[in-house]
Amino acid sequence: MDQQLLGQLYQIIVLIFLVIIHEVAHGLMAYRLGDNTAKELGRLTLNPIKHLELFGSFLVPLLFIITNSPFILGWAKPVPFNPYNLKNPKRDGALIALAGPLSNFLIAIIFGLIVRLMVVFTPIASSPVLYNIYNLLNVVIFVSVLLAFFNLIPIPPFDGSRIVFAFLSGKAERFWLQMEQYGMLLIVLLLFGGVLSFLYPLVIFVFRLIVGPAVIL
Question: What are the structural domain ranges in the chain?
Answer: 3-211
Q: pLDDT value at position 96?
A: 98
Angle made by CA atoms 38, 41, 45, in degrees to the nearest 5: 70
The string of pLDDT tens digits covering residues 160-201 is 999 999 998 888 888 888 888 787 777 777 766 666 777 889
The C-alpha atoms of residue 79 and residue 97 are separated, in whole angstroms, by: 10
**Do 23 and 77 meet the contact criterion of CB atoms below 8 Å apart?**
yes
Query: Does pLDDT of 214 surpass 70?
Result: no
**Do 203 and 145 meet the contact criterion of CB atoms below 8 Å apart?**
yes
